[in-house]
Chain A
């Protein structure tokens, strides 16, 4: 059985020893205690588990640990820098873009990648980019507002 002994997560090389067949989500949550990414549907249909793999948002619930080895993984825990939250995290708090919060880490990771590629997305682009992230509480309008707000903060030269 192939083993994975190292994962590059949030800029640090984490020593692990797991079966390559396990999902990236399970390794992050159960072995590395990074419980930000959530288990939702388990079939890449809800977006709760989204993390960045080499900068791109992917569903960690259907990504094998074997495929993740060698890639740079970023989870919601890795966004904060020197005690400063990412502007999108700030914006989520200011706007109150969550009720239960279960979809929030996935929404934020997908949103962070969007803002990196396009610092001024319009509403249609935000909706298109987040279409794979479901919010069962229905907080969509505030989530879109938070992404718009973070875009403004980033363009205004706020902490990145």
Chain B
């Protein structure tokens, strides 16, 4: 690992100053579970780490029956999943965390950091492969071993977003609060993530000197059920081959409102409006589930080795929707 300077900050303004404006010369340290691994593999070589865990009051879980959840960016995944209110009312989020990484990592990893983690594409993670995402001229997945890559939203790079909580939070309508210590902006989480076509070097809109301070999750409408379901190659400590976060609000025997967001299949949490349209106004019967699943993957364009993800993701969507009735 390249030696670096270590700085502790007390507020967002100090963080912004310490982070500076030169891209990746300084990196934000919170749980460090992704960043330290990246540094050891020389994927990033910052001259400075800015520890934001010393900023007070960003580790709170605040509940309000009307306004919903206000999560400090430094809340660890395990604390979030243990929260009784989160488990009961924001079920998909708790389920997504249960299926993330492993217990020790969940103890250290923060929700803000989880949303900012880098992709797990094996070309990107290989120190010696200079792919598009690292400033190279080529995405090696296109003609290479692409069984774990994107079937939706890919090009020119075909990563999939590695977070499980992110699709759940997008489905629950979360927003993120971002600040550089002077200007604060609140952005729908859905718009926080960006596609490789927009900027192949980044996965989100965070500027070099900005940090996430909070994640806001609106209170679900009465009767709403949410489910997160994930299929992976091995049953422990693995990333999603395909996952789905679904949020369904019933209305007189049929679906009043629905959100369907896919994980593990696209460079960002992939919300599918077509699948949501196929659900609204319909009873949740097998025919509706099949139509929604079909619609969810209608736009898929698999690479040579990841065609299996289409029926897999369809099955995950169908099953997640049926679990909202359980």
Is A110 an interface residue, CB under 8 A from the partner? yes
Is A36 an interface residue, CB under 8 A from the partner? no
For the complex formed, measure the closest distance between the CB of A39 and the CB atoms of chain B, giving whole angstroms.
11
The interface residues of chain A lying within 8 Å CB-to-CB of B137 are none
Q: Which residues of B contact A (CB under 8 A)?
A: 3-8, 29, 32-33, 36-37, 40-41, 49, 51, 53, 78, 101-105, 107-108, 236-237
Known: A21-B6, A129-B103. A66 touches B51 (CB 8 A): yes
A62 touches B36 (CB 8 A): yes
Closest 6 pairs (CB-CB, A-B) = A132-B102, A131-B236, A62-B36, A43-B37, A56-B107, A20-B6
Find A2's partner among B7, B32, B41, B78 (CB 8 Å cutoff): B7
For the complex formed, measure the closest distance between the CB of B30 and the CB atoms of chain A, giving whole angstroms.
9
B104 touches A64 (CB 8 A): no
Q: Residue among B8, B33, B104 with the most chain A CB within 10 A?
A: B104
For the complex formed, measure the closest distance between the CB of B137 and the CB atoms of chain A, giving whole angstroms.
28
Find B40's partner among A1, A43, A110, A129 (CB 8 Å cutoff): A43
For the complex formed, measure the closest distance between the CB of A98 and the CB atoms of chain B, giving whole angstroms.
19
Interface size class of A (residues with CB under 8 A): 20 to 34
In the docked arrangement, what's the CA distance between A20 and B48, Å?
12
Is A10 an interface residue, CB under 8 A from the partner? no
B36 touches A2 (CB 8 A): no
A50 touches B8 (CB 8 A): no
The interface residues of chain A lying within 8 Å CB-to-CB of B6 are 1-2, 19-21, 64, 66
Known: A62-B32, A132-B105. A56 touches B4 (CB 8 A): no
The interface residues of chain B lying within 8 Å CB-to-CB of A50 are 104
B29 touches A64 (CB 8 A): yes
Known: A21-B4, A131-B237. A44 touches B103 (CB 8 A): no
Known: A42-B40, A56-B78, A131-B237. A62 touches B102 (CB 8 A): no
Interface string of A50-77 (1 = CB under 8 A from B): 1001001111011110110000000000
A47 touches B104 (CB 8 A): yes
For the complex formed, measure the closest distance between the CB of A19 and the CB atoms of chain B, giving whole angstroms.
7
